[in-house]
Each structure stands twice: as C-alpha cells, then as structure tokens.
Chains A and B, each alone.
Chain A
Amino acid sequence: MKFFAALVLLGGVLPGMAAAKESDPPDSIYQLEARLTDQAGHAQGLDLYRGSPVLITMFYGSCQATCPLIIDTLRSTERGLSPEQRAKLRVLLISFDPERDTPEALRAIAATRHIDTTRWTLATTDAETVRAIAALLDLQYRRLPSGEFNHSTVIALLSPRGEIQARSTQLGRADPELLKHLH
C-alpha cells in the first residue's frame, strides 16, 4: 500500500508522470493511472491503444462457463465491420484474476483461441486497479471463496481519446448499438 501511496503523491506533485494527457476529455477513462502487463510481459498503460477505437472488457482466464463467450462476442462484433473498420479497431481484455492470469497464462489463452495479438491485448494488473477499471466500466464482480469470479459482462467502446461511447451487456452476438458507433 505504501507503494500506491507514493504513486498517488507523485501523481499530485508531478502530473506529467501520469499516463493521462492534459488534452484528455473530462470523461476519458485514460485518466486512470493503471499499470497493466500484457500477454508478452510488457508494461502498458490503460491507454495503450490511444488514438484508435477500442473495445474494452474484463474476463478471467480460468472461467469455464459463460466467459469464453466474451471472446466469441468480440469476434462477432468484428465480423460486423468492413475490413477497413476492422483494421482500425483494437480490443483490450483485462483480467479480474491477478493471481492466476499471469502473462504466461494469457499467452496460452491467446494461442488456444487464435487471438491476433497485433490488434488484441490480454492484460493483467493488480487487484486495486481491477477495482478501479471495473468501476469506470460500471462492471460488477466479486471473487468467490472458490477462487472463481462472479461478474457482470460489459463490452464498452472507447473513442480514440478514451471516452466510453457505447456500452453493451449482451453476450453471444454483436450488439447493434456497438456496431452503430463503429460504422
């Protein structure tokens, strides 16, 4: 916790150190100072895809039930786009589960599910950052005593500057609301 306290203090004294840019709109979620680690083990900010439209969601890798559907739903959404639109779109999946979703575990998921990591990123972060990102996306979750996670599903579309333009809670098919904003 001391480490986070230091970060908060630094953020107050040296705003230039934050990932956020002065030009971020008031509603940009990129103002959150989040330290993510991607499937390749590289440190990233929440704004790693700044400048592109992004579909952002949260998941956990060991989920056996509904959750693999999240990847299918993201794919269905991509299939609703033209090749040009698809080439511009980026996808960011952030894990609820810092303990088990290590970069190695994320890499295995990416390989098994044939995920194109040039446009998609699977990322892990610490438990406190999970809380903050879930709060920004208005996504509810709780860790069950079994180590599983119980969570609502939200796929949000971010503008190139990190504003939430559309939010979908649908699973299994492309949400027309998301497609409308992407077309």
Chain B
Amino acid sequence: MRAPVVFWLLLATTIAHAQPLATTRVRVPGATFETILPPAPAVKTATVAAFELDRTPVTNAQFAAFVAANTRWRRDRVARVFADPVYLRQWSSDTTPAPGTGKQPVTQVSWFAAKAYCESRGERLPTWHEWEWVAAASTTARDARKDPAWRQAVLDWYARPAGTTLPDVGGGEPNVYGVRDVHGLVWEWVLDLGSMMVSADNREQGDPDLAKFCGSGALSLEQKDNFAMLMRIATLSSMKAAYTSKTMGFRCAASLE
C-alpha cells in the first residue's frame, strides 16, 4: 500500500493542477479507545488496527474522473437501486461538476457509489470506529474528547447554519495525523453503515426493538454528553445506502497488510 502514495506524489509533481493533498493518505496507528458505539452490549471500548486514511474528503473533480471511467455510475445511468433520484443532481451535466466546484467535496453520492469509488482505487470506506477515532483528534492530541475548548469548537460547526456553497477541501486545520476536514465540512459515509443498529428511540429504557433483532438486540449508545458524535450517529443511522444528501460526502481508507 506504500507504492500508490509514491506514485501519486510523482504524478503530482509532473502534472499541472494535480492535487497532492487530496490524493495522499496518512497512516493512523492502531488504538483501543472508549467508543460511543459499543461493539457489543457491556463492551465500552473498540479496537482499530493501524490503517491509512485520505487527508481530505473526495472532491467533485476526483469523482468526475471516476464517473468518466465507470460510466455505470453516471447520474443518467446509475441503477436506481444504488442511488436515489437526486444523486449528483447539483452537477452541471451527467459528467461535469458545476463550474468552480472541482475542489469542493463531492456530496449527493450514495453509500453504494462511495463504496464503488474507493474500491476502484483498491481501497475501501473507513469503518465507523476508524472514523470515530480519527475524529477524536485535535491538532495536538489523539484523543481530545475531554478537552472543553476542542469540544466547543467542534460543536460550533454543527451549530452553524449550512451555507449554500461548500468550501474547498483542505481548508480545515490538519489534526494530529494530518487529516483535514473531519469536522467542519461535510458528513461522511462509513463502511459499516448497516451496523448502526441503535434503537429508534435511544432514550427509552428496556429495548423496544428486541423482537426486531436476532441476538443481543439494539445497542445502547455511550457518552450521551458527546453531542457532536451523537449527531453523526443519528445522521448515519437515518440514511439508507441508496440515499444521498447535500451534506454527505466521504473519504477512503485502506487496511495495512
């Protein structure tokens, strides 16, 4: 998995308008941490193995190149079962993003489309726990979740009304790993979208969905004061895999062999 990074760096130095920032990944060391989404009832920590993650969300320009090479993902050709009717509707045409939006994060892409994009690069979407762990980092600490100032800064973004245009990717400060825009730009798809089996009303005691699940039932969320992460979970668990949204983008990850 090292070779592609070198390849892209070489490519970036030889091709004008290349975006080395958007085409490189960083290595995130493995960790065991307290998670908001328990892997099983009464298990409060999650473990992620070391992995690589894109520095920035995937851009419109990058997604346009993917669509050009994989025409079944064009908005006029995509199977409805994989993407809803507003998939990529904000683009100027079936193959072209709106002028000036090439470096903005691509949104209005379904989970199926995001997954196919990462697979076309030999990669995958990050899992929720991988994403959650990277999202816990500040510019200086791997786990800044108990730092009130950092927490407030994250919450301030969630409280800000969404503008009509998204900023370009890479505008946010890099966190301790060099990953940008985890907070402050878009929501992001995760690989295990179908694992967000939290009950419809998590405030209820007991389990209203027990009959719905085979096994141990719906999971109960931890860290109920971590509003920013609760909103992420709520947003993801409300999305079906073919849905798209103006604020849902993605980035890719890769396992380390």
Contacts and interface: CB of A to CB of B under 8 A. Distances in A.
B194 A139 contact: yes
A145 B124 contact: no
Contacts of B226: none
B195 A141 contact: yes
Interface string B67-91: 0011111000001111000000000
A140 B216 CA distance: 13
A26 B81 contact: yes
B123 interface: yes
A94 interface: no
Given A24-B79, A150-B217, A12 B212 contact: no
A28 B81 contact: yes
B16 interface: no
A8 B116 CA distance: 7
Contact of A1 (B71, B122, B197, B242): B122
B196 interface: yes
Which of B215, B217, B254 is packed against the most chain A CB atoms within 10 Å? B215
Interface residues on B, range: 35 or more
Interface string A112-144: 000000000000000010011011101111101
A66 B70 CA distance: 42
Nearest to B213: A152
Interface string A20-34: 100010111101100
Contacts of B135: none
B202 to A, nearest CB: 15
B119 interface: yes
Contact of A12 (B70, B79, B215): B70
B241 A144 contact: no
Contacts of A32: 81
A153 B212 contact: yes
A11 interface: yes
A169 B197 contact: no
Contacts of B39: 142, 144-145
B122 to A, nearest CB: 4
Interface string B225-247: 00000000000000011100000
A40 interface: no
Contacts of B153: none
A113 B20 CA distance: 57
B156 to A, nearest CB: 32
Contacts of A132: 112, 115
Given A5-B120, A135-B241, A140-B197, A150 B213 contact: yes
Given A141-B194, A145-B39, A150-B197, A27 B81 contact: yes
A67 B216 CA distance: 12
Which of A4, A29, A134 is packed against the most chain B CB atoms within 10 Å? A4
B78 to A, nearest CB: 9
B214 interface: yes
Interface string B201-232: 00000000001111111010000000000000
Contacts of B182: none
B177 interface: no
A26 B80 contact: yes
Which of B39, B70, B80, B213 is packed against the most chain A CB atoms within 10 Å? B213
Nearest to A144: B40
Contacts of A169: 212
B94 to A, nearest CB: 15
A8 B70 contact: yes
A81 to B, nearest CB: 25
Interface in A27-64: 27-29, 31-32, 63
B119 A135 contact: no
A8 to B, nearest CB: 5
17 contacts: A1-B122, A1-B255, A5-B121, A8-B116, A8-B119, A11-B70, A12-B120, A27-B80, A31-B81, A128-B124, A134-B194, A135-B241, A142-B192, A142-B195, A149-B214, A149-B215, A150-B213
Q: Which 5 A-B pairs have the closest CB atoms?
A: A12-B70, A135-B241, A26-B80, A150-B215, A142-B195
